[in-house]
Structure 1
Amino acid sequence: MKGTTIHLDEYAGRLAAARIVDGRLDDLLIAPDDDSPAPGAIYRAVVDRTMKGQGGAMVKLPGGTGFLRGAKGLQQGYALNVQVTGYAEPGKAIPVSAEPLFKSRHVIVTPGKPGYNVSRRIKDDDAREALLALAHDIAGEPGETGLILRSGAGDAPSDEVAEDIAAMLELAETVLRDTGRDPELLVDGPDPHTLAWRDWDVPDALFTEPGNFAEHGVDDMIDALSDPRVDLGGGHWMSVEPTRALVAVDVNTGTDTSLAAGLKADIAAARALPAALRCRGLGGQITVDMAPAPRKERRVIEQVLKAAFRADAIDTVLAGWTPLGHFELQRKRERLPLTKILKT
């Protein structure tokens, strides 16, 4: 099926959301079946101890510990609001930030970062001016709290955007007025259905009825993620396998024996890699063993990689080529690996 469909349902008894693009699984969100704080959750935390050598501090959270970078000037016992920025690696504290953001479908409220801004993806000058005028109407003149109008606001009805701005400003003000002194959850992190509504573009079709995963073959697509092999078309394929130290990606030409087989396989792998990593929840260091191709073609492969990851919402640094001809990336650990979710 051509086009984009979004499916909201359950998988293995957990809330799940899947985005299908042209018949292929493009993104997947599944809720973990444990008490792990979800990225985006906002807590009142208490500084436990500073760690000068690491440039941060350990902070107490309800039932756990967080690690806050850039904790200069903080003292033990100090209470502050923090936001979970990712999942903790085994045996490590939960990563948190002292600059919480309040994010919804159309707006991001940025306390301590004044100014009203519009997403660069909105190119139309009239639309940009209209959104800025709407922000001033709802929020008044810029103060210490800023606003970012997201790309989705460009096509949304103005009353819907206005309602979103007002709701996020009210939530931010409520949290900022908090004067408690003990660790406490202030704003829960979004579940997969909320994340899909907040971050995914409007699809060609939306399916929300119970059982639609099975009806539309989404269950089978998720089951297939347990196999490291990703078919790339034209007989090409790649293997995506996480290890303790890194994610290893091996690109293969398969049945293609043409002179340009290596380049074609590498380009196909570069385009498919973001979705393969997203759906498996993989991050950290990623090493890609490209199929053999002339050295002069590396620039083309790198350009395709840059374009593919530019459209990906998860921060990924393209580190470049190694002396052995591998390509390395560093990707933010924003999600739990699918293997870990399904084991809980």
Structure 2
Amino acid sequence: MGVSAVTENILVEISPGETRMAFVDGRDKLREFMIESISQPPLLEGVYRGRVIKIEKGMGAAFIDIGIGENAFLSRATSLHEGGAIIVQIAREAASGKAPTIRREISISGSYFVYRPDGDDVRWPRSLKSGRRRDVLEARITSWLEDGEGWTIRTQAQYADDAVLSAEITALRARWRDATDKTSDVPSCLLPPPSLVERTLRDRVASESIISVDDRGVYLDLTTRMKRQRPDIAANIQFHDEAEPIFESYGIADQIDELTDRTVDLPRGARLTFDFTEALTVVDVDLGSAGAKGRVDDAILATNMSAAMEIARQIRLRNLAGLIVVDFITMRRREHKRKLVDAMKRELKDSSVPVDVLGMTAAGLIEITRRRDGPALHELLTQRKAGSIQPSREVLACDALRQLLRTKGASGFRLIAAPRLASLLRGEFELAFKETTRRLGGALSLIEDNDEASFRIETEDRTGT
């Protein structure tokens, strides 16, 4: 199945233990890729009633137990005391050994508004700071807003019907009211975080996007909810009812497999190399077999410009964050250096995550900073073992369960797994394994094998062989 020449396609693959989403452009090119696994459930935007465990007076900060297994970090801890209860919201998930970051200011997001129950103002997006479009929208919604509450208007609100806008305002208020009426247990979750699919459809999907889902139950649920929450996209949700897996069907499976490769090939033989440390990500641009033919300066500029486009794409795909240093091929001419920096800024301009191209250093390195938005893809998908980078146990577990569900023509299944993988499937992934067993009709056994490096699948036909 090809992708529309114009429309962005959003592909949703649901499998036991894991949800994967891919944004594909009109050229069959993978643009963004996201994963949500039971091994790392979402936390962002969750609201909790927590207990103050420790106050760091020198920092003016505190650590709060919110019941997720590790204490969360609150940067502003005025008027708090150890042992006291406090309602907080997760603003940034844990990453690179740092605790989750929380805030006291609660915000509940919808498709068109963000409700701030402790606020007292109305905030407008940059695109609606002034002008006729703002005046029209302000006149429509003013009567629905009440004193003593805060609202942030989202850009998409200008395109929605009054009934949809009014219903969302009512629903957001009700969510907060229901949350605060819950148990007073400490710690406890008052509002669970949205799932990857929920958050993406709410924040990232344009009205012309086509959403394809490979699970009938999820498809029906999304269609029903989007008719109420995002009627502009409800009709664009499709069920992928084909034997071929959805990523293979859209021609992006190989592109996904390459996302943890250390090197990325560029046209005409050039190559990118990615290396990761605790402090930064380093990207090296190498001419490789391309060489510099013809006018050397112009050839190097052309290669660097091509590399800048692919680096921007890889930053989004791999969800790289923090300090990113790019070592481009050395250029002598000042105007070429300026063109390259401008190109890098242009390629990253429309990033959904704040990013800043700091410029080129005296050594010819371009420095980029990007805000962390969840773990980088290599942190989710790989592990360092025996000096090499290998798929993580969680990735192998999900891959095994997917392969089992795609195996046809068998009446019985045996999953032979390495001890650590078998342990994971009996532990953290137990529910995912049971769901796979149910979908296979109960004929699945898990066998631990000390000689197996990862896993293999054996089947029985209906005669028992």
TM-score (norm 1): 0.87
Which of 292, 296, 301 matches 1:263? 301
**CA distance change for structure 1 residues 116 and 24 in 2, over 3 Å: closer, same or farther?**
same
Aligned CA-pair RMSD: 2.8
After superposing the two structures, state which structure 1 stretch, 250-259 or 68-77, moved more: 250-259
Q: Deviations over 1:248-305 (max 9, x none)?
A: 1112345262532333333333344343123213212211112222333333333333
CA contact (8 A) 1:31 1:341 kept: no
**CA distance change for structure 1 residues 278 and 292 in 2, over 3 Å: closer, same or farther?**
same
Q: Which structure exhibits the higher relative contact order, with contacts defined as CA atoms closer than 8 Å and separated by 6 or more residues?
A: 1
Specify the alignment match of 1:5 in structure 2: 9
**CA distance change for structure 1 residues 230 and 165 in 2, over 3 Å: closer, same or farther?**
farther
Which of 197, 201, 210 matches 1:193? 197
Secondary structure of the corresponding residue to residue 260 of structure 1: helix
CA contact (8 A) 1:85 1:334 kept: no
CA contact (8 A) 1:47 1:75 kept: yes
CA contact (8 A) 1:45 1:82 kept: yes
CA contact (8 A) 2:52 2:62 kept: yes
Specify the alignment match of 2:160 in structure 1: 156
CA contact (8 A) 1:119 1:149 kept: yes
TM-superposed deviation, 1:70: 2.0
Aligned mates of 1:155, 1:234 — CA distance in 2: 45
CA contact (8 A) 1:17 1:196 kept: no
TM-superposed deviation, 1:18: 1.0
CA contact (8 A) 1:16 1:28 kept: yes
Specify the alignment match of 1:71 in structure 2: 77
TM-superposed deviation, 1:103: 1.5
**CA distance change for structure 1 residues 236 and 169 in 2, over 3 Å: closer, same or farther?**
farther
Matches within 5 A, 1:92-103: 92-103=98-109
Q: Deviations over 1:129-155 (max 9, x none)?
A: 232233323224xx3432222222233
Aligned mates of 2:117, 2:339 — CA distance in 1: 41
Aligned mates of 2:270, 2:165 — CA distance in 1: 45
TM-superposed deviation, 1:317: 3.4
Matches within 5 A, 1:12-23: 13-22=17-26, 23=28
Does residue 273 in structure 1 map to residue 277 in structure 2?
Answer: no
Does residue 314 in structure 1 map to residue 353 in structure 2?
Answer: yes
Aligned mates of 1:65, 1:330 — CA distance in 2: 27
Aligned mates of 2:16, 2:303 — CA distance in 1: 34
After superposing the two structures, state which structure 1 stretch, 304-313 or 217-226, moved more: 304-313
TM-score (norm 2): 0.66
Aligned mates of 1:278, 1:91 — CA distance in 2: 22
Aligned mates of 1:85, 1:221 — CA distance in 2: 31
**CA distance change for structure 1 residues 165 and 304 in 2, over 3 Å: closer, same or farther?**
farther
Aligned mates of 2:172, 2:311 — CA distance in 1: 34
Specify the alignment match of 1:330 in structure 2: 369
Q: Flag structure 2 segments of 5+ consecutive residues without an equivalent.
A: 216-244, 382-391, 395-465
Specify the alignment match of 2:412 in structure 1: none
CA contact (8 A) 1:119 1:151 kept: yes
Give the letter aligned to residue 34 of structure 2: L
Aligned mates of 2:367, 2:374 — CA distance in 1: 20
TM-superposed deviation, 1:182: 0.9
Specify the alignment match of 2:401 in structure 1: none
Matches within 5 A, 1:122-271: 125-140=131-146, 143-175=147-179, 180=184, 182-202=186-206, 203-210=208-215, 211-233=245-267, 236-254=270-288, 255=290, 257=292, 258=295, 259-271=297-309
Secondary structure of the corresponding residue to residue 220 of structure 1: helix
Q: Flag structure 1 segments of 5+ consecutive residues without an equivalent.
A: none
Give the letter aligned to residue 138 of structure 2: L
Which of 52, 57, 62 matches 1:52? 57
TM-superposed deviation, 1:165: 2.7
TM-superposed deviation, 1:313: 1.9
Aligned mates of 1:274, 1:58 — CA distance in 2: 36
Q: Deviations over 1:199-232 (max 9, x none)?
A: 2232442211344223212332211112133345
Give the letter aligned to residue 213 of structure 2: T
Does residue 25 in structure 1 map to residue 30 in structure 2?
Answer: yes
Which of 312, 330, 334 matches 1:295? 334
Give the letter aligned to residue 291 of structure 1: I
Secondary structure of the corresponding residue to residue 57 of structure 1: strand
CA contact (8 A) 2:14 2:214 kept: no
Specify the alignment match of 2:227 in structure 1: none
Percent identity over paired residues = 25
Q: Which runs of 4+ in 1 moved over 6 A?
A: none
Specify the alignment match of 2:88 in structure 1: 82
